[in-house]
Amino acid sequence: MNYYFKYYRNRIIMLSKIKKYFNTEIVKIYDNSMYHKNNNSKKHLTILIVSNAFVQKSILNRHRQVYQALSKEINNTIYALSIHTYTFHEWKKNNIINIKKNICKFM
């Protein structure tokens, strides 16, 4: 299977799972793999999710939910994952439109 086809298929699967699991349309996935010296087949991703499923949940519990939703992808295709989770209220209050990509300086 073509590398790019597999990559985009996995990305679509991840977006679909996140949207369904967290009942949201606000999801962004950034690929930071290009900043790694050893760019292997596993990806380093940054994910932004805005959902009211995070209301009254600690950051740790929010991240646990994301790991649970993406457990298969994390085990098979993701090398590193940076997670940014917000409720709709937090997102609007802090005027968060985008997140900066995490650049791996030590790779």
CATH number of 54's domain:
3.30.300.90
Task: Give me the pLDDT at residue 8, please.
Answer: 75
C-alpha 70/C-alpha 104 separation (Å) is 22
Residue 98 lies in a domain: no
Number of domains in the chain: 1
Q: If we measure between CA atoms, which residue out of 47, 45, 50 comes closest to residue 7?
A: 45
Element (H, E) at 105: none
Question: pLDDT band at residue 27, thresholds of 50, 70 and 90?
Answer: very high
- Give the rounded percent of residues in the chain with a pLDDT score beyond 90: 43
Q: Between vectors from CA 54 to CA 51 and to CA 60, what angle results, nearest 5°? A: 130
Question: pLDDT band at residue 80, thresholds of 50, 70 and 90?
Answer: confident
Task: Give me the pLDDT at residue 92, please.
Answer: 86
Domain enclosing residue 25, as ranges: 3-93
Alpha-carbon dihedral 82, 40, 14, 64, rounded to 10 degrees: -40
Residue 105 lies in a domain: no
Question: Is residue 14 a contact partner of residue 81, using CB atoms and an 8 Å limit?
Answer: no
Average pLDDT, the chain: 82
Residue 102 lies in a domain: no
Higher pLDDT, 58 or 8: 58
